[in-house]
Amino acid sequence: MAGTEELTRVVIADAGPLIALSRVGQLLLLRGLFGTVEITGQIRAEVLDGGSFPGQDAIAAALQTRWLRCHAIDLSPWQPRYPGVDEGEASAMLLAKMHPASLLIMDDRAGRAEATARGFAVIGVAAVVGLAKLQGLIPLVAPILSEMRANGYFIGNDVITAVMARVGESARQD
């Protein structure tokens, strides 16, 4: 889980965590924790151009107010090491390569494996929610993580248990 020293890093979010947070009305946790968050054009297209979902307007508003900032990334130099890494994840890693002290917020298993193998710091959306509690932005993580799961976002039981233990909540599985 992220520590407070990571709050000054360039923070880059993948599509999955953005969608998960916006669907439960918690996208602003990113702003509260990190100030600004970077995404790529590929991630923007994934979250705004691929159909509609509850909370999508919050992502569009974040881009308009520029606390969520979009960068054009050329994927032509990309050579993935792991199968299953999509364009959004690849572009996030290329952006992270430009900012060596960056923090990636990514949940996809293949994307996380690739990012870790390349030496990037990575946290998932559950850790973001846990950090929000530790920083006093929310009172409890359990209801938010439960709602994410109810909306179809996969977060493993072991991850939920670890985050809840870290923030001092008793673990209960849905």
Per domain, the residue ranges of the chain are: 4-73+86-166
Structure-block tokens of residue 136: 């006093």
pLDDT at site 122 = 98
Q: What does each of the 174 residues of the chain score in pLDDT, given as a tens digit?
A: 444 444 458 999 999 999 999 999 999 999 999 999 999 999 999 999 978 899 999 999 999 999 999 999 999 888 888 889 999 999 999 999 999 889 999 999 999 999 999 999 999 999 999 999 999 999 999 999 999 999 999 999 999 999 999 999 986 544
pLDDT at site 1 = 46
d(CA 89, CA 162): 24
pLDDT at site 76 = 86
d(CA 85, CA 107): 12
Angle at 94 between CA 73 and CA 84, to 5 degrees: 100
Amino acid at 157: N
pLDDT at site 172 = 57
What is the C-alpha R_g of the chain? 15
HSE at residue 30, side-chain half, CA atoms within 13 A, is: 32
Q: How far apart are the first and last CA of the chain?
A: 22
Helices (H) and strands (E) in the chain, counts: 9, 5
CATH code for the part of the protein at 4-73+86-166: 3.40.50.1010
Amino acid at 14: D
Whole-prediction pTM: 0.91
